[in-house]
Amino acid sequence: MFRLITGKPGRSGFGSASTAENVTQGIDATNLTAVITGGASGIGLETARVLALRNAHVVIAARNMEAANEAKQLILKDNKNARIDVLKLDLASVKSIKAFADNFIALNLPLNILINNAGIMFCPYQLSEDGIEIQFATNHLGHFYLTNLLLDKMKETAKSTGIEGRIVNLSSIAHNYTYKGGIRFEKINNKNRYDDKRAYGQSKLANILHANELSRRLKAEGVNITANAVHPGLIMTNLFKYSGLWMKIFKFFSCFLWKNVPQGAATTCYVALHPSLKGVSGKYFADCNEFKPSRLARKEVLAKKLWEFSTKLVNEAENS
């Protein structure tokens, strides 16, 4: 808490006050291509801007193409040499995710970095296009499916270039506040006792478990790709559109804990680009330093069960 409030750097040399530009200073990403979901606004846009500033080729994946193209022009305005592409992606739709992956592969680009950034938060109960509770579908299942579809391209890139691939899942400290047992496997779509905040925490727990199990599988396969999860911090973005008055009150009394957008994108950019994290996988980061997540987030059995459950849901959605 002291480091969070004061911004004092941790073991990495960075802390809560560090910005995305700070943590990537001096890094040349010229040979890297990154896909960033939700890169049209908030910390996703800042992540896209900074990676492009470090010369990476950035592909913004977004549901709102108008906003994505505006984001592209905003980045180009300050960086005319930026390499930016935009592709449509709706993470609540298996059909859209498959179309995105096909369209990306058709670009014949390498893929070094996948940043699973997009998300929704605290929204009222509803089901996705495929009949899955919307926060779980968007925040976890969509990214799970997208990652699986792009993994062969990442493996091919890592093997042909010798450059380590990196997958970054944006989680949250909210992963500590979830349903009993962590994931409601048997009641994932149950409207009874639906809690918008616990449902969000469930999806954020799933982001960490996904990264951990993916990391374990990649290590077992001997693939030169890492997978980690990050907590960006408390940042007031359009994620809070469903939060209402109570969140404004909470922010008023906890203003010293909040970050601005450049600070919020720092941990993502650090984990995606910093050379000191070469070979580091299956970890959880906050304020650009490794932290221990919740007990549930560290359960290998739970991570494996979630993987099997997610695979089942995707298969059912594909065949429906």
The domain that contains 262 carries what CATH number?
3.40.50.720
Can you point out the beta strands (E) in 29-164?
Answer: 33-37, 57-62, 83-88, 113-116
pLDDT digits (tens, 9 = 90+) for 37-92: 999 999 999 999 999 999 999 999 999 999 999 999 999 999 999 999 999 999 99
Query: Which structural domain range is residue 261 located in?
Result: 2-319
N-terminal to C-terminal alpha carbon distance within the chain? 47
Token pair listed for 312: 């089942």
194 is catalytic: yes
Token pair listed for 266: 């720092």
* CA–CA distance, 225 with 251 (Å, rounded to integer): 38
pLDDT digits (tens, 9 = 90+) for 180-237: 999 999 999 999 999 999 999 999 999 999 999 999 999 999 999 999 999 998 775 4
* CA–CA distance, 150 with 87 (Å, rounded to integer): 14
* CA–CA distance, 23 with 99 (Å, rounded to integer): 34
- Which of 125, 177, 179, 194 is catalytic? The answer is 194
User: What is the pTM (predicted TM-score) of this model?
Assistant: 0.92
Overall number of domains in the chain: 1
Q: What is the CA radius of gyration of the chain?
A: 18
